[in-house]
Structure 1
Amino acid sequence: MASAALTEHLTMYIVVRKDLAKTLKWPTGSVITQACHAATAVLHQTSNDDNTKKYLANVEGMHKVVLETKNAETLRSLAESLNTHNVPLYEWIEQPENIPTALATAPLPERSAEVKDAFKKYCSLYR
């Protein structure tokens, strides 16, 4: 029987800017790469956090939600909103262009209504 530490539902949220593909015409692979950069960076940055340790210890049980937001402004607004609720995240800034492209949260347990509302306000499922 799995321990509670391994069965706790943790979710990583990854948000990418939709305008990268639609308006700026970035190739799909480049957009996906931005999401990967943000996800890897937040796991590295929070590697000593208990939730990250639990998440990485249960590779087969990892849960991710990939979302899209309209542009740099909505990505920034989402990051600010999540920061006010102390949600650990990493906002990826693509270099050398210095363009904010994506963000990822550390693995999170079930969150408050305010955090869920921030995702609903600024994001939708990536399509």
Structure 2
Amino acid sequence: MATAVVKEHLTMFIVVRKDLTKSLNWNNGSVMTQACHAATAVLHVTRNDPDTVEYLTDITRMHKVVLETKNANSLEKLETILKEHQVPHYKWIEQPEDIPTALATAPLGERSPEVKNAFKKYCSLYR
């Protein structure tokens, strides 16, 4: 008897810096705007990627996870790991302040243990 392979849902991960609200006194609306910028940008730059094309075919069933990370340093560490594992992503840098504020991955299916561990190490669910 053949065993069916269960494919993970394509999921976009959006990570914002928690310190934007605490030490920089940004309001939640401004932080969510940064998340939207990153999500829109990654969809645009990966618009021809097969996973992004598939993700956009059924917009009523999109999966997203919004996470927070402590500060710019932890955002950079996460980005380094994503680059090492060739995970398509976009880091939003707010202008004219030139502040890295958020990062979004392209829609992902199966993730390597290293990438899963990076999200666990540097992020938690946004609150």
TM-score if structure 2 supplies the norm length? 0.93
**What are the Cα deviations for residues 36-95 of structure 1, in whole angstroms up to 9, with x where unaligned?**
000000000000000000000011110000000000000011000111000000000000
Counterpart residue type for residue 49 of structure 2? D
Structure 1 pair 28–38 and aligned structure 2 pair: CA distance change class (3 A): same
| Alpha-carbon distance in 2 for matches of 1:85, 1:100 | 21
Aligned match of 1:117: 117
Number of aligned residue pairs: give it.
121
Give the aligned CA root-mean-square deviation in angstroms: 1.0
Q: Following the alignment from structure 1 to structure 2, what is the Cα–Cα distance between the partners of residues 110 and 44? A: 21
CA distance, structure 1, for counterparts of residue 110 and residue 47 of structure 2:
20
> Structure 1 regions of 5+ residues with no counterpart?
1-6
Deviating beyond 2 angstroms after TM superposition, the runs of 4 or more aligned structure 1 residues are none
Unaligned runs of 5+ in 2: 1-6
Match in the other structure for 2:4? none
Secondary structure, counterpart of 2:42 in structure 1: helix
Percent identity between the two aligned chains: 71
- Match for residue 77 of structure 1? 77
User: Which deviations, in whole Å up to 9, do the C-alpha atoms of 1:3-33 show, x marking residues without a partner?
Assistant: xxxx861000000000001111101110000
Q: Is the 8 A contact 2:18 2:68 kept in 1?
A: yes
